[in-house]
């Protein structure tokens, strides 16, 4: 995800769009932070052998969306940064997950052996 954000930021900077680059970087940082908090919460919930969930996990879970919405709202109302750039940055985790899925799919297809794929299902009869 950080690589996706860095490459996109580099392209934006090559076009010398500083305010768009800052907005994109802010959105990407919020998106990546949101993704890691969500991932950590899911890991804790999946491995929790106890009934009570840690308060820090609940706090991060509840703060995630209001924090992102508040920051985007402030920049939208003040006009300091382009809101579309921030919104585009928020989609960096989507790009990262999509790329990872494509990589995993490719590895799964390559790891199959041709002899196993070409095996006649009726040869064991």
> Other CB atoms closer than 10 Å to residue 99's CB: what's the count?
13
Q: Residue 118: which pLDDT band, with cuts at 50, 70 and 90?
A: low
Cα Rg of the chain, angstroms: 21
Report how far residue 96's alpha carbon sits from residue 32's, in angstroms, rounded to the nearest whole number.
10
pLDDT score for 91: 93
State the pTM of this model: 0.75
User: What is the domain partition of the chain in residue ranges?
Assistant: 2-110
Segment 85-96 shows an average pLDDT of 92
Look up residue 99 and give its two tokens.
Answer: 């790329």
The yes-or-no verdict on residue 124 having pLDDT over 70 is no
Q: Residue 115: which pLDDT band, with cuts at 50, 70 and 90?
A: low
Report how far residue 24's alpha carbon sits from residue 5's, in angstroms, rounded to the nearest whole number.
8
How buried is residue 29: exposed, middle or buried, by Cβ count under 10 Å (0-12/13-18/19+)? middle
The yes-or-no verdict on residue 122 having pLDDT over 80 is no
Report how far residue 67's alpha carbon sits from residue 59's, in angstroms, rounded to the nearest whole number.
12
Q: Residue 88: which pLDDT band, with cuts at 50, 70 and 90?
A: very high
Stated as kind and residue range, the H or E segment containing 41 is helix 18-47
pLDDT in tens, 29-67: 999 998 998 888 888 777 767 667 778 877 877 888 888
CA distances from 115 to 25, 73, 81, 106, 112 (A): 48, 57, 57, 18, 9
Report how far residue 92's alpha carbon sits from residue 77's, in angstroms, rounded to the nearest whole number.
23
């Amino acid at each position: 995800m950080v690589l996706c954000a860095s490459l996109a930021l580099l392209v934006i900077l090559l076009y010398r769009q500083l305010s768009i680059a800052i907005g994109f970087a802010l959105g990407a940082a919020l998106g990546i932070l949101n993704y890691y908090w969500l991932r950590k919460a899911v890991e804790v919930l999946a491995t929790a052998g106890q009934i009570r969930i840690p308060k820090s996990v609940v706090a991060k879970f509840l703060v995630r969306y209001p924090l992102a919405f508040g920051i985007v709202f402030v920049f939208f109302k003040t006009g300091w940064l382009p809101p579309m750039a921030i919104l585009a940055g928020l989609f960096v985790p989507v790009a990262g997950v999509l790329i990872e899925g494509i990589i995993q799919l490719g590895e799964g297809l390559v790891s199959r052996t041709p002899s196993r794929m070409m095996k006649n299902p009726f040869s064991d009869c």
